[in-house]
Amino acid sequence: MCGIVAYAGTKNALSILLDGLQRLEYRGYDSAGIFISNPKKDAVLKVKGKVNELRLLCDKETKEELFPIGLGHTRWATHGKPNESNAHPHVSNNKELILVHNGIIENYETLKKDLIQRGYTFESDTDSEVLINLFEEIQKTQQVSLEAAVQIGLNKVIGAYGIVVFDKKKPHELIVARLGSPLAIGIGKNDFFVGSDATPFLEHTKEVVYLNDFEMARLSFGEDIQVSNFKENTQIKAIINQLTFDLEHIQKDGFDHFMLKEIFEQPKAIENSLRGRIDLLKEEVQLDSVQKHESIFKNTKRIIILGCGTSWHAGLVGEYLLEKFTRIPTEVEYASEFRYRDPIIHKDDLVIPISQSGETADTMAALKLAKDRGAFIFGICNVVGSSISRETDSGMYTHAGPEIGVASTKAFTTQITVLILLSLKIAALRNTIQASESKRLLDELIQIPDLISSFLKQISEIKEIAKIYHKASNMLYLGRGFNFPVALEGALKLKEISYIHAEGYPAAEMKHGPIALIDKEMPVIVIATKKGHYDKIVSNVQEIRSRGAKIISIVSSGDESIKKMSDHCIEIPESDEIFSPLFATIPLQLLSYYIAILRNCNVDQPRNLAKSVTVE
């Protein structure tokens, strides 16, 4: 789970690599390194730590020289500690080949043993260094080019990888390959760019080739890109896609952090998720991706939703929505559990993997398992062209735009938006919803972006609450029905960016154990919107209050009963219960954000985490 950048052309690779790596730090940031080369000089520079530190080292070591080719890497450790020698790029024993790698080589120990017997030595504990020496050995023993050595070598390797390799004997050429780890190749006028995604080269080119699994490419200065399948040893025509987002989409726009920017982007993001999917005249949901497979959605007997983290929480909301509207039994599974428990999958099951990045290894493996067993796969992803989106039979993009902050925010609310549309569409196909009810809900749904925008203008009380509770050691989040997953999501947000221990619970479960935790020190956040189990949650709040907890409630505007019982109260717009997660989530995101800031935490890059978890 690392970020890769590479460049070959006539511009200065150094600045392209450093800027690109900075944009990819969401993928990992425990160490970073680059290799740069020109006819007179080449250098491998590495640091333990972030790209800023690498930048300082480069300033010291490279002066004003021009390097037209180079590779860069920002690491999230899998094999070996985060330190300089384990940082990439890795260099082969003969010092001729240089490699950056994202992924895991599962049979690296066997390969390493063999290479050691042949006299190779290793400077790092990484699986990646094995790969580069394997290529050297093949080049040497079989007298072949680097391209051929990579093709032969990868057929001996078990695991997942996105790699870029350079051979000093061919100083204008890069070889790239992928299996399981994403790689995007930017095609410039006179140059090539490589990235784990397209963000490193957005300002340079909009033309991108996404490599598929088992594909490799030769990027040779002055020639066209050459793509081949390294398993079948066949040439492939490169498909050039046009990028539709700009650099300003991935910058902070005056916000202190990406997370805050992304929280405030939610009205626009939800609007984009809805765009073109509601026929305003007919007032019905229009989804070609469902319509095209009408019989599958009409006849399916069961839906299985797969996801991890926040996407799993969105899946829980999806379960409530799909069962309510379509009456199809729906299960939500942690992808990591599903993939290893030999699940029962029927051919008429509809499987919905949900993933912001579209690169989460567990979700990918779980969907592949379901696909192999004959289920129809309908993906919900944010990143266009991502690995998961390309494995599915059909699907919907959330169109939230790039999410850079490690803590998912707009991804969650847009996933829910898409799940609402999907549920209403399937329900319409199966005649399990009245047209008038669907119209009523769609009318309400299209107002939501504006309502969230207005809410975001009055958040001063959330900052005040953060000031009071930022030193807490524990927090409880309670909700019922559609707001139970919101409680889980609120707790996850707090844990991951402020490092405060937090738990989400269905409010009624309190009395089955967790109520024992409550004392005067414990802040309890209760999501208690008007529609949906309101009376029940009033009773739950009374139970907690009588045990002395501090109550922070999220209520529908105009609420009086719960307000009276609460120490602090945040009012959100009143809505149908199915929409309440879209509103209730937002104050919880902000509360976590402001608490984390007061605790001096690195909000966009919390410790031990990375944006996409591309290892299991």
Residues annotated as catalytic (active site), given as ranges? 2, 611
Q: What angle do CA 550, 587, 581 make, to 5 degrees?
A: 105
Residue closer to ligand M6R, measured from CB, 569 or 613: 613
Among 151, 181, 196, 356, which residue sits at the site for ligand M6R (rule: CB under 6 A)? 356
The answer to whether residue 592 forms part of the interface with ligand M6R (CB under 6 A) is no
Q: Which residues contact 570 (CB under 8 A, 6 or more apart)?
A: 461, 462, 465, 552, 553, 554, 555, 587
Q: Least distance from C-beta 410 to ligand M6R, angstroms?
A: 11
The answer to whether residue 612 forms part of the interface with ligand M6R (CB under 6 A) is yes
Collapse the DSSP code of 95 into the 3-class scheme (helix H, G, I; strand E, B; otherwise coil) and give the result: coil
Contacts made by residues 564-567, CB under 8 angstroms, sequence distance 24+: 565/538, 565/541, 566/526, 566/541
Collapse the DSSP code of 56 into the 3-class scheme (helix H, G, I; strand E, B; otherwise coil) and give the result: helix
- Using alpha carbons, select from 338, 390, 74 the residue that is nearest to residue 214: 390
Q: Least distance from C-beta 21 to ligand M6R, angstroms?
A: 20
Residue closer to ligand M6R, measured from CB, 410 or 568: 410
Sign of CA dihedral 131, 132, 133, 137: positive
Contacting range for ligand M6R; rule: CB under 6 A; set: 52-60, 65-73, 394-402, 403-411: 403-411
Angle between helices 580-598 and 484-498 (to 10 degrees): 20
Q: Least distance from C-beta 167 to ligand M6R, angstroms?
A: 34
Q: Which residue's beta carbon is nearest to the bound ligand M6R?
A: 309
Residue closer to ligand M6R, measured from CB, 406 or 487: 406
Among 37, 196, 330, 363, which residue sits at the site for ligand M6R (rule: CB under 6 A)? 363
Distances (CA, A) of 246 to 202, 240, 249, 292: 6, 17, 6, 31
The answer to whether residue 273 forms part of the interface with ligand M6R (CB under 6 A) is no
Among 310, 413, 417, 553, which residue sits at the site for ligand M6R (rule: CB under 6 A)? 310
The answer to whether residue 202 forms part of the interface with ligand M6R (CB under 6 A) is no
DSSP state of 212: P
- Distance, C-alpha 176 to centroid of its chain: 23
Residue closer to ligand M6R, measured from CB, 228 or 310: 310
Q: Least distance from C-beta 438 to ligand M6R, angstroms?
A: 28
Question: CA 605 to CA 28: how far, in whole Å?
Answer: 9
Secondary structure (DSSP) of 175-197: EEEEEBS--EEEE-SS-EEEESS
Rg (CA), the chain: 26
Hey, which residues between 495 and 554 contact ligand M6R (CB under 6 A)?
Answer: 496
Q: Least distance from C-beta 492 to ligand M6R, angstroms?
A: 6
The answer to whether residue 360 forms part of the interface with ligand M6R (CB under 6 A) is yes
The answer to whether residue 87 forms part of the interface with ligand M6R (CB under 6 A) is no
Contacting range for ligand M6R; rule: CB under 6 A; set: 89-97, 112-120, 357-365, 420-428: 357-365
Q: Least distance from C-beta 342 to ligand M6R, angstroms?
A: 23
Strands 394-397 and 376-381 turn out to be: parallel
Q: Least distance from C-beta 560 to ligand M6R, angstroms?
A: 34
The answer to whether residue 408 forms part of the interface with ligand M6R (CB under 6 A) is yes
Q: Which residues contact 602 (CB under 8 A, 6 or more apart)?
A: none
Residue closer to ligand M6R, measured from CB, 19 or 496: 496
Q: Least distance from C-beta 400 to ligand M6R, angstroms?
A: 11
Q: Least distance from C-beta 406 to ligand M6R, angstroms?
A: 5
Residue whose tokens read 């719960």: 562
Q: Least distance from C-beta 296 to ligand M6R, angstroms?
A: 24
The CA-based diameter of the chain, rounded to the nearest angstrom, is 81
Contacting range for ligand M6R; rule: CB under 6 A; set: 154-162, 188-196, 249-257, 404-412: 404-412
The answer to whether residue 309 forms part of the interface with ligand M6R (CB under 6 A) is yes
Contacting range for ligand M6R; rule: CB under 6 A; set: 38-46, 122-130, 157-165, 351-359: 351-359
The answer to whether residue 613 forms part of the interface with ligand M6R (CB under 6 A) is yes
| Count of alpha carbons within 13 angstroms of residue 178, beta-carbon side | 24
Question: CA 54 to CA 366: how far, in whole Å?
Answer: 37
Among 102, 151, 266, 355, which residue sits at the site for ligand M6R (rule: CB under 6 A)? 355
Question: CA 160 to CA 105: how far, in whole Å?
Answer: 6
Q: x/- contact string, 448-467, with ligand M6R (CB under 6 A)? A: --------------------
The answer to whether residue 333 forms part of the interface with ligand M6R (CB under 6 A) is no
- The number of residues that bind ligand M6R (CB under 6 A) is 16
Q: Least distance from C-beta 398 to ligand M6R, angstroms?
A: 10
Question: CA 232 to CA 251: how far, in whole Å?
Answer: 41
Contacting range for ligand M6R; rule: CB under 6 A; set: 41-49, 150-158, 405-413, 546-554: 405-413
Question: CA 190 to CA 219: how far, in whole Å?
Answer: 11
User: Can you list the alpha helix ranges (DSSP code H) found in 458-601?
Assistant: 460-469, 484-498, 534-545, 561-565, 580-598
Strand order in the sheet with 69-75: 42-48, 31-37, 69-75, 3-8, 192-195, 184-187, 207-210, 241-242
Residue closer to ligand M6R, measured from CB, 153 or 307: 307
Among 175, 406, 510, 544, which residue sits at the site for ligand M6R (rule: CB under 6 A)? 406
The answer to whether residue 365 forms part of the interface with ligand M6R (CB under 6 A) is no
Residue closer to ligand M6R, measured from CB, 370 or 407: 407
Residue 555 phi, psi dihedral angles, 5° rounding: -125, 165
Residue closer to ligand M6R, measured from CB, 1 or 150: 1
Q: Which amino acid is at 522?
A: M
Question: CA 317 to CA 580: how far, in whole Å?
Answer: 11
Residue numbers of the site for ligand M6R (CB under 6 A)?
308-311, 355-357, 360, 363, 406-408, 492, 496, 612-613
